[in-house]
Amino acid sequence: DLGGYPHYMAKEIQEQPESVERIIRGRLDDRFGVARLDGLNLTPRELRGFARVKILGCGSAYYVGQIGATMIEELARIPSDAEAASEFRYRNPIIEADTLYIAVSQSGETIDTAFAVEEIKRKGGRVVGLVNVVGSTIARACEGGVYLHAGPEIAVASTKALTNMAVGFALIALALGRVRDLSNADGQRIIDAVRALPGQIKAILDFEPEIAEHAKTVAAAKSLFFVGRVRGYPVAREGAQKFKEISYRHAEAYQTSELKHGPLALIDESLPTVAVVPSDELTERNLAAVQQIKARGGAVLAVTHADVDFGELEVPRIIVPKTEPELDPILLTIPLQLLAYHAALTLGYDIDKPRNLAKSVTVE
Ligand code: BG6
């Protein structure tokens, strides 16, 4: 049931304030500044014992996994990374007993992710799931997990499930952090920020008409860059992925820091860049890169915070509300969903069922 929306993707984007409420409901413990994740089936002692975190997923779930890895490193200071499950399962991965493996999947049926889970279990690793569909193959195969409670997602391009994955990682990072060096006060700081997310998402969605105008401009280009650095890089990757999936435009994600080491040669009037420029310790570096792109005639659209001062640079901006720096990627991703949606709408493509793609790839 489309409930009055023109597409499922539009509906699912708009549902995000409520779907985020659902993943956090009953899971925030204000007294101890921690997340309560009983479904993980891990004792505090077990949580404390992990020396590493490895996140596995495919497509957008893999990119959100990268967002999650950064959150876990920042809040829990545990070395963490994300890898495409489709690669992991084929490369005879080293499975370590003191690594926490996290499988991320909306459907819970993606065959590459399911195989990665089996490989981890076969070799004695500990794997938990961050899954939307209750009782799905991956959810059942994992030894515990956190359900996303995003509700059914119909559009092939994932939106509300991804946002809940990112929020789920914030909760896991909190749980891992609070059995280590994260203080009760810092835990509470994150809890307060998590609680504010639904209202902030709503505020971003209110800017849809402006974002739709930006989408018309970027849809005119044959090819574009999405750039970000550190926390912003997986945001750029997911933004480019969404753009490719439904607008069939070549969209390439790059670390902003790497532009000068090669791809800057491609920049001219025909190649616009969507730049993720949060207000944080890297703002000045990001602005310097924007300046370099502009100096070569490239157009820039910035996804940024209100207090970032672009000075003389004439850059159209999508302003996102500020949260705690560790959680910024959750909100920075939302306007990129709307940008891809409206670009595809302008170009007249089938938004909910893009060509050549399935909602979940369940066969080899
Ligand atoms: C891909 C879909 O095949 O699977 C992507 O096209 C999706 O949109 C990916 O992100 C992973 O799916 P799931 O269900 O495992 O999250």
Nearest CA to ligand 1 atom 7: 59
Alpha carbon of 182 to ligand 1 centroid (Å): 33
DSSP states of 98-131 as a string?
TEEEEEEESSS--HHHHHHHHHHHHTT-EEEEEE
The pLDDT score that the predictor gives to residue 297 is: 95
| β 126-131/223-228 pair status | unpaired
pLDDT in tens, 278-310: 999 999 999 999 999 999 999 999 999 999 999
* Best residue for ligand 1 mutational test, from 138, 357, 360 (most atoms within 8 Å of Cβ): 360
The one catalytic residue among 202, 294, 353, 359:
359
- Helices 16-24, 184-205: crossing angle, 10 deg rounding: 160
Alpha carbon of 231 to ligand 1 centroid (Å): 22
Count of other CB atoms within 10 angstroms of residue 186: 17
Atom number of ligand 1 nearest to Cα 107:
14
Alpha carbon of 267 to ligand 1 centroid (Å): 31
Q: Which residues line ligand 1 (CB under 6 A)?
A: 58-61, 105-107, 110, 113, 156-158, 357, 360-361
> 160 catalytic, yes or no?
no
Q: Which two tokens stand for residue 307?
A: 């207090």
Alpha carbon of 156 to ligand 1 centroid (Å): 8
pLDDT in tens, 338-353: 999 999 999 998 888 8
Give the predicted TM-score (pTM) of the model.
Answer: 0.96
ipTM here: 0.93
* Best residue for ligand 1 mutational test, from 357, 361, 363 (most atoms within 8 Å of Cβ): 361
Whether residue 360 has pLDDT greater than 90: no
The pLDDT score that the predictor gives to residue 228 is: 98
Average pLDDT of the residues in 334-341: 97
Strand partners, 276: 303
